[in-house]
Amino acid sequence: MKELISIVVPCFNEEEALTYFYEEINKIREQLKEVNFEYLFVDDGSKDKTLDKLRALNKKDKRVRYISFSRNFGKEAAMYAGLENAKGDYVAIMDADLQDPPSLLPEMYNYLKNEDYDVVATRRVTRKGEPVIRSFFARMFYKIINKMSKVEMVDGARDYRLMKRKVVNAIINLKEYNRYSKGLFSFVGFNTKWLEYENIKRVAGETKWSFWKLFLYALDGITAFSVVPLAISSIMGLLFCLIAFIMIIVIICKTLIWGDPVSGWPSLVCIIFLVSGVQLFCIGILSGYLSKTYLETKNRPIYIIKETELER
Ligand code: UDP
Ligand code: MG
């Protein structure tokens, strides 16, 4: 029997891009005749006609499956739903906007089939067409998180990858609510082949990531894969105690030797501000972890399905 490749595609307001995507992926399917394909589109609570498009595609082509969420749960949830429901022996994750070139699929499949790899992942080597500030912060982020976390995060890594069934199962078994896939992918390990390509502009529609959303996502990544910020706050506390201790001794000596009169309330105010600022900062770090723990303990579902192709 032929093996099955599932293509998981998270879609959020992608009505324009979907047609192009479906055409492109069909071309690839024709090149890869030795395997069967299924396309699993995950509609992440789109507000446009994405779901209608998916229903129509499903009617026309039984290879097209879809899951529609009850609201927007985010790309991480969409990817998880896709991996959980994909039936393939191999599963690929791909964006709907064709920024992840489907033309790489045959090559990826060959690596898994003929060589000793379990995952073929992709990274883009350029950030062309992206705002300069965004690239700068992205680079900083990877530098920082790789210093802080034991799990390696690859700069420029995309979510685009083809995985064997055992890898998919390993990822599905990580049921955490705060999902940071880049980290989860490297957490599970396995033999990974990296393919590189240049950044490609999306075919239609707009990016859903504002700078602020990316910033919060970066913080998610840090809290999910490192506890170093907690250690930093302890060290900062110790450091401040040390400074205070030295200052106490200096002041006692000064008073005993020169009998200094009381003075210097401006410096005192500055110190109070500095120290209370540091305290609030550390409480902030702590609450970052606490809030993640809080959400995790609630055990809420990662996504809620409104409709799938099975109901039709
Ligand atoms: N996406 C999603 N839910 C969201 C945001 C994005 O499913 O809340 C999907 C989107 O439809 C696309 C992919 O995730 O297929 C990548 O999104 P986008 O192209 O906006 O991100 P970028 O490529 O700019 O990083
Ligand atoms: Mg994109």
Q: How many domains does the chain have?
A: 2
Burial class (CB in 10 A: 0-12, 13-18, 19+), 132: exposed
Residues 97 and 194 placed together within one structural domain of the fold:
yes
* Within a domain: 219: no
210-228 pLDDT, tens digit each: 888 888 888 888 888 888 8
Residues 154 and 280 placed together within one structural domain of the fold:
no
Buried-state track 98-109, b at ≥16 Cβ within 10 A, e below 16: bbbbbebbeebb
Atom of ligand 1 nearest to the CA of 99: 23
Expressed in angstroms, the distance from the first to the final Cα of the chain is 28
Report how far ligand 2's centroid is from the alpha carbon of 202 (Å): 6
- Please identify every stretch of the chain with a pLDDT value under 50, giving residue numbers as ranges: none
**Is the shortest distance between the CB of 75 and ligand 1 below 6 Å?**
yes
32-51 pLDDT, tens digit each: 888 899 999 999 989 988 88
Give the pLDDT score at 89: 92
Q: Residue 17: count other Cβ atoms within 10 Å of its Cβ.
A: 22
Residues 232 and 280 placed together within one structural domain of the fold:
yes
The closest ligand to the CA of 45 turns out to be 1
Residues 43 and 152 placed together within one structural domain of the fold:
yes
Residues 26 and 83 placed together within one structural domain of the fold:
yes
Residues 66 and 198 placed together within one structural domain of the fold:
yes
175-223 pLDDT, tens digit each: 888 888 888 998 998 989 888 887 777 777 777 778 888 888 888 888 8
* Within a domain: 96: yes
Residues 118 and 248 placed together within one structural domain of the fold:
no
* CA neighbor of 151 nearest in space, from 121, 179, 182, 122: 182
Residues 109 and 152 placed together within one structural domain of the fold:
yes
Domain assignment of residue 173, given as a range: 3-210+301-311
Give the pLDDT score at 43: 93
**Is the shortest distance between the CB of 164 and ligand 1 below 6 Å?**
no
What lies within 8 Å, CB to CB, of 20 at 6+ separation is: 98, 203, 204
0.85 exceeded by pTM: no
**Is the shortest distance between the CB of 211 and ligand 1 below 6 Å?**
no
Residues 250 and 177 placed together within one structural domain of the fold:
no
Give the pLDDT score at 311: 59
* CA neighbor of 177 nearest in space, from 47, 24, 303: 303
Residues 171 and 86 placed together within one structural domain of the fold:
yes
* CA neighbor of 161 nearest in space, from 139, 130, 186: 186
